Amino acid sequence: MGTFKAVVIEKGEGGQRVALKDFDEADMMDGDVTVRVTHSTLNYKDGLALTGKAPVVRRWPMIPGIDFAGVVEASSHPDWKPGDAVVLNGWGTGETHLGAYAEKSRVKGDWLVALPASLTPEQAMAIGTAGYTAMLAMLALERHGLTPQSGPALVTGAAGGVGSVAVSLLARAGWHVVASTGRAAEEAEYLRGLGAAEIIDRAELSAPGKPLGKERWAAAIDAVGATTLANALAMTRYGGAVAACGLAGGMDLPTSVAPFILRGVALYGIESVMAPLPLRREAWARLARDLDPAALSAMTTTVPLAEVIARGPEILAGRTRGRVVVTIA
Ligand code: NDP
């Protein structure tokens, strides 16, 4: 048995320490598939794990990283054989199971999805958990029966990872996208490039508002939570729907029942970590089919494994544009 390079979080007396290290293969966790990881990403939750700002990590030492793309090296699972290209999101990797910021990962074969044929591993991680979550949100809005003809679609946290993919997907599908951002001065051009039709300052949504406001959109994908989500609901048209997937602005939800009982608005919860396999496969197939590769490339920056540690505080501070791919091999 040898070692492999990994970002490792250890817990000591003075808090947690994070460093790029040689990790002993003998210390890998149980699983029926071993994957040579080639790419991972930086998601908001990875920022929380890397900085220790929220109790994401629940086992030490931990290799953070909640998603990867790679190639199967060894497998005793009937669905996977050496050489298969795979993608993994969630299931507790980087939280309770040793995660993705490593040259190797041993996981359950039941957690893996085949890399869609039209995507490179790097593109799959440019999408990453953030982009796959944006698609889960879009699927929820579509299942509600909403179409671009229903009215505009709001995206909050638009310049972030979930937001950038959501703007791009909705615009390409023909929606009139209203992008809410705290960085309008710097990112308006970027967001218009992704297809946003209108840019609004997030301050319009972050102050406490009325139980019902002017009906401004038929659909919304919200990565922010708190007052922003409450205002998104209050301004949703009769019969519309909001897909809530994030808490970048806070965990609370200071709303009233008014949007639900007076406008028939629906609120969908979006959860990516334990989402069942058929839904994952559907989301990845749709991403492979619908996401514009040029837009994906425009929203992506790439960093080597060692640099991801310094990027943790950046994403929590809301200073990351779009998506960050982590190159491992
Ligand atoms: P990013 O940091 O890339 O995006 C979040 C964006 O939210 C920021 O870019 C910023 O956009 C905005 N924002 C940040 N801080 C605040 C604030 N205090 N008030 C209002 N807006 C703010 O993160 P991700 O895209 O990776 O994740 C977004 C959210 O979705 C996170 O909360 C994450 O935990 C959640 N998530 C949930 C998943 C699930 O399974 N439900 C899966 C994946 C992510 P701007 O500058 O444009 O305003």
Distance in Å, CA 280 to ligand 1 centroid: 21
Mutate to test the pocket of ligand 1, among 42, 44, 205, 315 (most ligand atoms within 8 A of CB): 44
Q: pLDDT tens digits for 207-252?
A: 999 999 999 999 999 999 999 999 999 999 999 999 999 999 999 9
**In ligand 1, which atom is closest to the CA atom of 202?**
48
Measure the CA–CA gap between 315 and 47, rounded to whole angstroms: 6
Q: Is the CB of 286 under 6 A from ligand 1?
A: no
d(CA 265, CA 244) in angstroms, rounded, equals 13
Q: Which backbone phi and psi does 220 adopt, to 5 degrees? A: -150, 145
Architecture of the domain made up of 3-115+299-327: Alpha-Beta Complex (3.90)
SS3 content of the chain, % helix, strand, coil (to 5): 35, 30, 35
Q: Do domains 3-115+299-327 and 129-269 have the same CATH topology?
A: no
Choose the residue to mutate in 133, 180, 280, 287 for probing ligand 1, maximizing ligand atoms within 8 Å of C-beta.
133
Interface pTM, i.e. ipTM: 0.99
Residue 1 pLDDT grade (very low, low, confident, very high; cuts 50, 70, 90): confident
pTM: 0.98
Which fold would CATH assign to domain 129-269? Rossmann fold (3.40.50)
Taking the CA of residue 129 as reference, the ligand 1 atom at the shortest distance is 43
For the Cβ of 224 lying below 6 angstroms from any atom of ligand 1, the answer is: yes
- Is residue 202 lining ligand 1, measured as CB closer than 6 Å? yes
pLDDT at residue number 71: 98
Q: Where are the domains of the chain?
A: 3-115+299-327, 129-269
